[in-house]
Chains A and B, each alone.
Chain A
């Protein structure tokens, strides 16, 4: 099984901050890596697919990069609506990372 880890598990940030979340796979998954945002009581929402492709309708302040085993999600300027939990998901053999909670500093 491919294990996914995320770091940090949580972070506190201010509006306007640049935020970076890291996701690591236990073996190479090429670019088969997706990112989702989940707000409390809501279903997850797709942000990034195939490591770096922005889903339609998602603001351009979100970006993804990486390949192989190491990936990042970057929010260039954190907005109030971005406070949420972020999950990476590998589609090589299908599993989610444990999540990173972004809250207000």
Chain B
């Protein structure tokens, strides 16, 4: 059974960089059948893609966040990470890491999610 677990600070100061790590267990992050995502949800609001990375290293970033986002993979630790720079209160959200299925003719979809971690941006 695949499991994903987010880790990182729950409080970040405005203008600083938010850094989160997702540890994957029960499966290899190096598989070409999957991509690795970050998705967030502000309190009381809907879901927003931040971006994702394929095992090859290619990435997709939400255009509205692209200038501030970096997603990377550490295959030796079976982890992937998110960095979001110059944060403001608007970046306060529950951040989810997730695994997506790729390489099919039917499209792509997210089949496993972490439990989510609340990150608050405040001084």
Contact = CB atoms under 8 A, between A and B. Distances in A.
Contacts of A36: 47, 110
B104 to A, nearest CB: 8
B106 interface: yes
A32 B107 contact: yes
B9 interface: no
Interface string B78-102: 0000000000000000001010010
Given A94-B49, A96-B46, A99-B46, A43 B107 contact: no
A95 B46 CA distance: 11
Nearest to B116: A43
Task: Among A33, A91, A95, find the residue whose CB has the most chain B CB atoms closer than 10 A.
Answer: A91
Interface residues of A, number: 27
Contacts of A98: 46
Contacts of A43: 96, 98, 113-116
Contacts of B115: 42-43
B109 A91 contact: yes
Interface bin, chain B: 20 to 34
B74 interface: no
Main secondary structure of the interface of A (DSSP, over half): loop
B105 to A, nearest CB: 9
A87 B47 contact: yes
Contacts of A32: 106-108
Interface string A27-64: 00011111010100011111001100101000000000
B33 interface: no
A78 B56 CA distance: 42
Interface of B: 46-49, 52, 60, 62-63, 96, 98, 101, 104, 106-111, 113-116
Given A42-B115, A96-B47, 20 more contacts: A30-B107, A31-B106, A34-B107, A34-B110, A36-B110, A43-B96, A44-B47, A44-B110, A44-B113, A45-B113, A46-B110, A49-B101, A50-B104, A55-B111, A89-B109, A91-B107, A94-B62, A96-B48, A98-B46, A99-B47
